[in-house]
Structure 1
Amino acid sequence: MSFFPEYVRIYGEKGAERGGAHICSDRGAALWVPPGVHPDENALDALLERSVAPDSKAELFDVYSEFDRAHPSEPHWFLPLMGVDPFMKKRGIGTALMAHGLNICDQDGTIAYLESPKPENVPFYERFGFRSHYTIDVARHPKVVTMVRPAKKANP
């Protein structure tokens, strides 16, 4: 966990600078990365190099390679991080965060993309129109379901 803040900064700083960070009081947050915005790959590789156990690096880099393969080729908003305080679950916070981000996607007319490492979260995302896209299943790494929501145009 000591490397997580740095990971979030590397992965999400550019998205946050472009309006992709959404906070619901102190109860939850979502980070959306806009189309065409990518993390600093060199900084991310350096972080993974020093924070991952040597015997897990090859597998992790294989997983990241699968993430790259799963990303849609067309412009999309990407939701790499969303969390709700465990004591505040089932109170509409995740729904509010998701609706806010999807509204931006709809205004842009772009698809939305996410990666769910928790199978129990898939039905939540499906309620917003996401559909399973690709399953990442590499060695000992937990399976990750990637999901895409088609583009919609916001009402004028």
Structure 2
Amino acid sequence: MRWYHSDSSETFALEHHLYVQLCAEAALLHGGVHVTTREDGAAVWYPPDGGVSDEDYNTFKFTMRNPDKMDRLSDLPEACDVFRPNEAHWTLELLGVDPNAQNAGIGPI
């Protein structure tokens, strides 16, 4: 999701780190962060009615170099709503695999 961050690599790394931290902190409250035993892959899950609060998201948004780019990201959950089940469910917010461990089947675990 490189498109919602600033253009410089250094700023991208910082902004992406802060975004992952924001998401992970919200999931940690509900036991929704899962890491592989070798710590080369991780998944961040939100429980039903869980996730980043609007207040925390807006605070985060205005720490970005280009907060207007975050408006594009804000449209994503609404666009996905048509694919969500009607019953309560957990939502996969982030999935990451260390580049050195990619193509080793870690993501599907």
TM-score by length of 1: 0.50
% identical equivalent positions: 27
2:51 alignment partner, SS class: coil
Contact kept, 8 Å, 2:23 with 2:44, in 1: the verdict is no
Give yes or no for the alignment of 1:2 onto 2:14: yes
**CA, structure 1 residues 83+18, in 2 after alignment: closer, same or farther (shift >3 Å)?**
same
**CA, structure 1 residues 31+63, in 2 after alignment: closer, same or farther (shift >3 Å)?**
closer
Taking CA–CA contacts closer than 8 Å with sequence separation of 6 or more, which of the two structures ends up with the larger relative contact order? 2
**CA, structure 1 residues 48+36, in 2 after alignment: closer, same or farther (shift >3 Å)?**
same
**Which consecutive unaligned segments of at least 5 residues does structure 1 have?**
97-156
2:107 alignment partner, SS class: helix
TM-score by length of 2: 0.68
Q: How does 1:74-153 map to 2 (within 5 A)?
A: 74-96=87-109
The partner residue of 2:34 within 22, 25, 29 is 22
**Which consecutive unaligned segments of at least 5 residues does structure 2 have?**
1-12
Give yes or no for the alignment of 1:61 onto 2:39: no
Aligned to 1:12: 24
1:4 to partner: Cα distance: 2.8
Aligned to 2:8: none
Give yes or no for the alignment of 1:35 onto 2:38: no
Please list every run of at least 4 consecutive aligned residues from structure 1 whose deviation after the TM superposition is greater than 6 angstroms. none
1:10 to partner: Cα distance: 2.4
Structure 2 Cα separation of the partners of residues 50 and 67 of structure 1: 21
Structure 2 Cα separation of the partners of residues 81 and 41 of structure 1: 18
Structure with greater strand share of residues: 1
**CA, structure 1 residues 61+69, in 2 after alignment: closer, same or farther (shift >3 Å)?**
same
1:47 to partner: Cα distance: 1.6
